[in-house]
Chain A
Amino acid sequence: MLNFIINLLYLIFFGSQLITCIFLIIRTIKIKQSNLLPLILFFFFNPLEVILILLVGSSTIVNMLSNICLVIFTKYTFFREKKSPFWYLLISLIMLKIIDVVLKVYIPFSIPLNFVVSAPQVPLFYLYLTLSSLSILLSYPWLGLTAIKYYKSIKTKNVESWIKTRYKLIGYSSLIMIINGILYFLFPIDSYSWEQLYPFIIGLLITINTTIFSISNLIAWIMPKRLKDYLNRDYKAIVDENLTEGEIMNKIREDTNKE
């Protein structure tokens, strides 16, 4: 039963991320914004990681690739030609990925564990948890804090409300993932199933946070028109007159001469 609950949440997480991925592929083809490619890969690698753990018990090859993609997306969406910690974060994540691969060649750790950790393996298991936790803390909070910062800067400006909501959803849902970075360390070392209460609670909390992130991003990126209209209910849209080139230039001349 406990396993069923976790698997159901996994299914929601998996489905919502895959739908977001497919939607973003379609939109990227249409609007040709190349900075969306790392986000598409993020929403592809994330569910793939879970599928590989469930099917073959290890996701070593794709593990952490989603985090690297998220950092690249943040850089090329918010920080082009701007100072940012991008290279520090990217190099740190690549180093974590290399250590993770080397570690897993010796011991195929995963969450939940597929085996009981022996006493000499305990420090290595905590190293694995530290790597997993750091990969979250070096990627999600940067996007989260940046989205919230820009939401605050446009909050009082004449920007459509649904766009402001998109910033908020992306920002806060990314910050929720910080909790997972902490929860990893509470994971028991003497259990390898969700069927016991303690690992179930930790697993449930991790999966709930991931599901909140996935559903928030699903809504943020694939916002239905009705929801957009509802969010825009107090927004006064600017309708510019259909002026000819000459009329626009004359209006500017009039205004600048008045001055």
Chain B
Amino acid sequence: MEIIKYLGDLLAEKLYIRPAAGRGLVKLAIKDRFSPFKPINQLKFNDYKEVIQNEVKNRLKSLGISNIDLVINSLVNSLVENQSIITLGEV
């Protein structure tokens, strides 16, 4: 869950929205891609990356956000930089 918090807070910072809304959007995007029954702690680095590049992007498009690519790149870079939290925060 730490990585979701990390990415959600960053998304909130980039969009100037409440952190809870940023985290909520990341969780919704994960649900869009995977079944709601898939445990979050089974998500891997590539799963998060695909969620950001597809489902988060689609959600931002539907909200009419500008500079989407900039936001998505920033999220992917943050994921790559902080990827170890997926393992060290879940084991």
Interface residues of A (CB under 8 A from B): 24, 27, 30-36, 77-78, 80-82, 147, 150, 153-154, 157-160, 163, 166-167, 170, 221, 238, 240-241, 243, 245, 248-249, 251-253, 255-256, 259
Contact = CB atoms under 8 A, between A and B. Distances in A.
A122 B1 CA distance: 55
B88 A36 contact: no
For this complex, into which size category does the number of interface residues on chain B fall?
A: 35 or more
B2 A255 contact: no
Given A31-B41, A31-B42, A31-B90, A256 B5 contact: no
Given A33-B87, A158-B9, A221-B91, 11 more contacts: A24-B91, A32-B42, A82-B80, A150-B82, A167-B84, A238-B20, A240-B23, A243-B20, A249-B25, A249-B59, A249-B63
B80 A33 contact: no
Contacts, number: 99
Given A78-B84, A240-B23, A243-B24, A256 B42 contact: no
Nearest to A33: B87
Nearest to A157: B6
B59 to A, nearest CB: 8
B28 A167 contact: no
Contacts of A243: 20, 24
Interface string B14-41: 0111111101110010000000000101
